[in-house]
Each structure stands twice: as structure tokens, then as C-alpha cells.
Amino acid sequence: MLASLTPSSLLLASGLTLHLWDHDCLLHATCPALLYLDPVLCLVSVTVMVASAYSDLVQNGSLLLQAVPPCVDLLGLKQGLNSLCGPGGHHELHVWALAPDQAVASFHLYCTGPEAYQDLLAQAQPLLNRHGVKVFTVQPEFGVSGASGSCTLSCGPACTGHLCCDPREPKIGS
């Protein structure tokens, strides 16, 4: 509040000083300090306004860039997810701030079935809350856990033609 009142107060002080001072002194430049009063107070006002807006600029910039909020321990969150579902049990973890006080996360979770997904989701919620993430989206992937570069969808031969990869292809890197 002080930062928003300062420029107006300085403007009023400058105007009042120049109005109340002897006009002959200003016209004949016998008081050089008064000649620089208005520009100096104007520069002080601009400095106060820029300094007060800097923190908002940084905060809004990190929101626009979808940076990891400073309140979230990303390394601790990754380690917690690794201990919960194994190092290959999740991927695509993204954490960003939706608002200055609201962290959001999304990740993919490998599961053997819907029951396992519900169990892992119930265990993941307190973990995410402990690390400052209150809102999250978990994308389940049913099938083989952590099979990088291969199909992880277990739907059988009936849907083989609809997959993005051929399940008969050898795994990449093997």
C-alpha cells in the first residue's frame, strides 16, 4: 500500500512546494534546488513504482512459463513416486503453478489393472499433498510396467490393428 501511495504523495509535495515558494526565486533561478525538485521527485516516484512491480512481474512470469513452484520439492516427489510404484512405474511427471498458491501435477502411471490403479492412486494422493501438490491428474496405463518403446496396452489381438505400434516388434534397445 505504501508503494502505491508514494508516487502520488511525492507529486503533491512537489506541487505544493513549488506553489508556496516565492515565484520570483523560481523565475530568476536564484534557488537552483527548487529547479531540480520536480525532476528528482519524479525519478524517485518511477523507481518506487518499478521496484513495487518487480515481484509481481517475476511471479507472473513464472506462472506464464509454467515453472515448478518454489514450494514443491520436485526431487523429493520423484523419489516418493519411485518408492511408491518403482522407478519404471511412472513417467511424464509435470509440475507447474496454476496460481501463486496452487501447484498442479500430472503424470502417467503403469498399472496391471483398474484395482491396482485405484490402490496406487489412493497412496499417491497423500504423497502429492505432502509435497505441496493439491491438484493432480494421473493417466493410467494398463499393461507392462515401464516397457519403454513398446506397446503397453494389453487389449489382445482384437485391437492390434488400432494400436500405434506393432506388438510383435522387438523392444527398442534389446
Alpha helix (H) residue ranges in 28-146: 32-35, 37-64, 74-85, 114-130
Instruction: Identify the top-confidence range among 15-19, 62-66, 122-126, 152-156.
Output: 122-126
| Residues 136, 79 share a domain | yes
Domain's final residue, options 16, 34, 64: 64
150 in a domain, yes or no? no
* Confidence (pLDDT) at 173: 44
The burial of 165, by beta-carbon neighbours within 10 Å (0-12 exposed, 13-18 middle, 19 or more buried), is given as: exposed
Q: What is the pLDDT of residue 96?
A: 92
Is 156 among the domain residues? no
The more confidently predicted of residues 160 and 75 is 75
Query: In this model, does residue 152 exceed pLDDT 60?
Result: no
Domain boundary residue among 46, 64, 82? 64
More reliable by pLDDT, 164 or 89: 89
Structurally, how many domains does the chain consist of?
2
- 138 and 78, same structural domain? yes
pLDDT tens digits, residue range 24-42? 666 666 677 777 777 888 8
Q: What is d(CA 41, CA 57) in angstroms, rounded to the nearest whole number?
A: 24
In a domain, 152, yes or no: no
Q: Which domain covers residue 26, as residue numbers?
A: 2-64
- How does pLDDT run across 47-76, given as a tens digit for each residue? 888 888 888 888 888 888 888 888 888 899
CB contact at 8 A, 38 and 10: no
pLDDT, tens digit (0-9, with 9 covering 90-100), for 98-147? 888 889 999 998 888 888 889 988 999 999 999 889 899 999 888 754 44
pTM: 0.58
The pLDDT, as a whole number, for residue 162 is 63
173 in a structural domain: no
Return the pLDDT at 127: 92
